[in-house]
Structure 1
Amino acid sequence: MIDARKTTTPRAVYIHIPFCTNKCHYCDFNSYVLKGQPVNEYLDALEREIERTVKAVPPGGIDTIFVGGGTPTVLLPDQMEKFLRIVRTYFDTTSGSLEFSMEANPGTTDAEKLQAMKEGGVNRISFGVQSFDNELLAGIGRIHNTDDVYRSLENARSVGFTNMSIDLMFGLPKQTLQTMSATLDEALRLELPHYSIYSLKVEENTLFHTLYHKNQLPLPDEDEELQMFLLIMERLKNAGYEQYEISNFARAGYESRHNSAYWLNHSYYGLGAGAHGYVHGERHVNIKGIQPYIDGSRSELPRLDQFEVTRREAMEDFMMVGLRLLRGVRDADFHRQFGENMDAVFGDTIQRLRGKGLLDVVDGGCRLSEQGLLLGNEVFAEFLSEEKDAK
């Protein structure tokens, strides 16, 4: 039986820089306040991991590289140059079609650092803006303000960056439909090629989680949050952006190719402290702490956990992540990965969800309906309930 996961070499690379200027109140990512951290030693450890990784699974053509965090742009210009030199040493970044993205925080991107990024091969920047309301920004623990956003975007344009995105959030404490609308006004005025707009999730091990359980987190109610999402979709559509994934909107040709690799359930290298990877049908997560990661990289790959994804689990993953794309999932892609037709494995579930009005069956596959788009988690969960053995 075909299982392309076992032999496909990743064409996508994720690299984690775990340092931040501060920890935001909602953040559960593997990140650490920069002050006093052994940054150069971390970069050395990262190089050791990359070297061992590409020796074990040599890369072919690389389509996308994504540097996340943390806040990668807290690296000093010389550290940024060192980091990008490491990346270029082990991955071919010369392809004219490569998408090389880096996350950035407004206020951490002066012209010198941006120039180092551009010269090092970065050609796409994703700014973590979250809101254009300064009071809301302070309330969620962000240390930038709207002036920092405008200045950072101008700095990026001045050194030649054109492919830029910003992240926004909705469902924040004390946020209203009116303040969300005002943020969209400011965001769309920038006329960027890409916007990512996520709903707040209260995660464990965050300040917001503590406040939530003390009834001290004044979140919008479910109906108001839904109205925000509907407003976001309407405003972005009217401004000429395609909603190509539940939380992502782009001008034609500017969709995030790296994130699309995740949604298509493709394999990818995952490098750095706490990073996740998916290679040859196995998922791994790296050691999370900075010093333990550095120490762990000295003699072997710095793994915290590594496990095989069963064929059945991979099929479920394919459906759940693929249905986040508004184009939906295609039987041809499913057959290419698994050598079976999608209906043979999930036909009953697809028809059940179609009957509920949550899926639309289209030529060659299926996708979320308008109602399903609002109830995505309910749809995704259905693909975990099949009892059929798919070995």
Structure 2
Amino acid sequence: MPESIYIHIPFCTHICFYCDFNKVFLKGQPVDEYLQALHREMETTFQQHPPQKIKTIFIGGGTPTALNEKQLDYLMQSIHSFVQFDPNIEFSIEANPGDLTTGKLKVLKDHGVNRLSLGVQSFNDDLLKAIGRSHKAKDVYVTVEEARKIGFENISIDLMYGLPNQTLEDVGHSLEEFFRLNLEHCSAYSLIVESKTIFYNLMKKGKLPLPSEDIEAAMYERIMNDMNHHGYHQYEISNYAKKGYESKHNIVYWDNENYYGLGAGAHGYIGSARRSNVGPVNKYIQAVEETGLAIREEITLTKKDKIEEEMFLGLRKTAGVSVKKFKEKFSVNPFEYYHDEIEKLTNEKLIEVNDEFIRLTEKGRFLGNIVFQEFIK
């Protein structure tokens, strides 16, 4: 059974221009009814697939900390009523700077949350406004200081690059502020313009001034170099951590392991089946009221599917795909199964291999999606 849980809270106090996650504007939404439905889905899911000791929990969104203190407390009590925690559990929650009041931080801390993931994106106030964020840079410092006072010792932030009108100097400034805060972890993502977003509509109209591919590549290189210089290990294409602070929950995804997915629009992976939930909030609530679950689609993976996922997920890690683990999982030698692909990518200096691993080269990290595509037969 899975040892990790993802819980989705779809409510936001504002909608960012780049976001295509399952989310709704908070005002007027049936938040309490949603949390009750989530409680019921947990109950049904864990009856059908009883969990062992849970090693990681990640509450994402949306903006989970858009909930008020009472609602956060209810959510935490729901989790504790069904889940037995591993003593060394990593319990994370996403939050926006400025949303985390002292009261909310205390509720989270009292219920065992020990890792905060803050959606900072940039330390440039003008840029934050241009991408639809509601916080300012000063809110980041206040939130981090308050979280430290409450006792949080594992704080991560998200940064973005390749944003409209963003410069290499701006990326450098955000990195400097991150280092000054002395946080434990950073996820640095390039902007991907997804359909059904405000940015997508602007791009279609020719009104989204994005940096060139060369400048975006220079931004990525700057991030990698500066992180390494300041002692942050790049353990995945977009993730950097001080030693011992890698995201255990995200590694579950990249290791292609099972996890529960709960909430509207959430995805889970149990046994050989990947499942996704109904997305719209009211339809999710209705589905759970009727059946105890809200499954929109469930796909049973073939051995071929699993092998492909093992490769393109595992190659995201700088450690790469373990040859030993691959053989144990699939009773297949990856060098035989992917002989032509591995030979081609090695010759192109996009991957490097030995008896222990298959992993991206530094050049390969810049062209990751091209590499991943090669392993989908």
TM > 0.5 between the two? yes
Question: What is the number of residues matched between the two proteins?
Answer: 376
Say whether 1:351 aligns with 2:343: yes
> Which runs of 5 or more residues in structure 1 are unaligned?
1-8, 386-391
- Decide which of 327, 330, 355 is 1:363's aligned counterpart: 355
- How big is the shift at 1:172? 0.3
Provide the C-alpha distance between the structure 2 equivalents of 1:170 and 1:297, rounded to a whole number of angstroms.
39
Distance 1:55 1:73 in 2: 28
Deviation digits for residues 356-391 of structure 1 (CA, Å, limit 9, x no counterpart): 111101331210011111110000000013xxxxxx
Partner Cα distance (1:319, 1:62) in 2: 26
- Where 2:371 maps in the other structure, the secondary structure is helix
Alignment of 1:1-391 (within 5 A): 9-93=1-85, 95-300=86-291, 301-385=293-377
SS in 1 for 2:289: coil
For the Cα contact (< 8 Å) 2:56–2:91, is it kept in 1? Answer: yes
Counterpart code for 2:346: R
Deviations 1:95-115 (A, max 9, x none): 321000000001110111000
Distance (whole Å) between structure 1 residues aligned to residue 342 and residue 48 of structure 2:
39
Q: Which one-letter code corresponds to 1:115 in the other structure?
A: K
The normalised TM-score by structure 1 is 0.95
Q: Is the 8 A contact 2:319 2:357 kept in 1?
A: no
- Runs of 4 or more above 3 Å deviation: none
Aligned-pair Cα RMSD in Å = 0.8
Cα distance in 1, alignment partners of residues 229 and 138 from structure 2: 26
Q: Secondary structure at the match of 1:98?
A: strand
Letter in 2 for 1:337: K
Distance 1:14 1:211 in 2: 32
**Distance across 2 between alignment mates of 1:339 and 1:107:** 50
Identity of aligned pairs, percent?
48
TM-score by length of 2: 0.98
* Stretches of structure 2 lacking an aligned partner (at least 5 in a row): none
358-367 vs 81-90, which deviates more?
A: 358-367
- Secondary structure of 1:116's counterpart equals helix
CA distances 1:186-208 after superposition (whole Å, capped 9, x unpaired): 11111111010000000000000
- The CA distance in 2 between the partners of 1:339 and 1:84, in whole Å, is 41
